[in-house]
Amino acid sequence: MTTLVTGATGYLGGYVVERLLARGERVVALVRARDDAEARARLWAALELHRTPDPGPGPRAPADLEAAGAWLAGHLAAGRLALVRGDVRLPDLGLDAAARERVAAEVTGVVHAAATLNRRSSRACMDVNLRGALEVARLVRAQAERGRLRRYVHVSTVAVAGRRQGEVVGEDAALDFARSDWDPYAATKKFAEHLTERLLGDLPVVTVRPSIVLGDATRAATTQFDMALAFVRLAQSPVLPFVPEARLDIVPADFVADALCDLHLAPAPRHRAYHLAAGRTSPTFREVTDALARDLGLRPPRFAPALAGPGGRAVAALSRLRGPLAPVGRLGALLDVFWPYLTWDVVFDHARVVAETGRTPARFPDTCAALFRFCRAHGFTYPHAPPPAAVLAAPAPDASPPGPEAAS
């Protein structure tokens, strides 16, 4: 299968591109960039995490970077990885005529991972999450009409479940328009799911809903820090305004990417929607804080559930701080965004994906300490290296490989 991946330079999109290439699939990566050099640099930044060892305290090993660069350059030169510059918000995904012809002739699968996670901006969420879903749906329909579509994976989120409290939610019960939403991100992703099903309900479409994606069970390094920063700051707090037995549905990115690729490449998935979640095995707040205290030498926090309401209001007030207190305001804004998902005590049944892929996610208490050590050691940034010369210089084939794949 030749798969077009939107959001290929994002956190989850980078995982999907790397996993598909590792399985011998061909990938066409949609990248928003001004020119090909910038597109290659952005893709390198997304894939560097997966092809180099976790960064240590010293400089990166040149041999590791060269090997990773040779890997990426080899895929580009051999045509196993193609870059097309575009933007999901634009008609025809912003592709020029040559790119449109290439996509039409080669692509038999689509993974739509592009999204904005800006939970405070309705305009940004409408622009990317809704307009983007519509433009991708139009492309998917066109490929189906050409007889070329084998699978479309629409990446959604468990946040589409809306305002709930203390529930276990199955896939068929998650999308409920009678419920209000926590934020513009959840609202637009919910309607994007609805739009996808209404427009493409007769096609081989799978919707996946990751829960909170945090870290990787196979490595400490990450390039996604917002949620990690929120958790580290909370873990360092002496008092937490949460119910200690409330559950946190958190999964590592490697599980999400592997399960997504399994479903994308499966001959015939049994369902149209899957929760890529921790499900009933989700840990409690106390399990997470106990693990951090044990592995990081922290003092376990005290829990004060009665402070949940005042705590939420205090975080909202902090988020409005500006001027000299802007750093505090930024942390407050971050916590304010994630506060509902820390307090709702909702988990998402994952029996479908476990049954079909045989995969179960690592539990967050087993992985959180390594992630937090990495985040603190690197100041909540990933020490990216510039793209190796081999990546920027690799020739890109002008034509598709012989014998273009037909949809089955």
Report pLDDT digits (tens) over 205-234.
999 999 999 999 999 999 998 888 888 888
Q: What is the mean pLDDT of residues 39-53?
A: 96
More confident residue, 402 or 124: 124
Report the alpha-carbon distance of residue 94 to residue 176 in Å, rounded: 33
Residue 347: the pLDDT is 96
Residue 243: the pLDDT is 94
Say yes or no to pLDDT of 303 above 80.
Answer: yes
Residue 61: the pLDDT is 92
Say yes or no to pLDDT of 279 above 80.
Answer: yes
Q: What is the mean pLDDT of residues 82-105?
A: 94
Please state, for a pLDDT cut of 90, what percent of the chain lies above it: 79
Residue 406: the pLDDT is 42
The answer to whether residues 199 and 148 touch, using CB atoms and an 8 Å cutoff, is no
Report the alpha-carbon distance of residue 247 to residue 317 in Å, rounded: 26
Q: What is the mean pLDDT of residues 113-118?
A: 89
Q: Token pair of 235, please?
A: 């873990």
Say yes or no to pLDDT of 322 above 80.
Answer: yes
Nearest CA among 292, 139, 283 for reference residue 203:
139
131-145 vs 97-106: helix axis angle to the nearest 10?
A: 60
**Kind and range of the H or E run holding 86:** none
φ, ψ of residue 88 to 5 degrees: the values are: -65, -20
Q: How confident is the model at residue 397 (pLDDT cuts 50, 70, 90)?
A: low
List, in order of start, the domains of the chain with CATH numbers.
Answer: 2-216+249-280+346-362+382-393 (3.40.50.720)
Residue 391: the pLDDT is 95
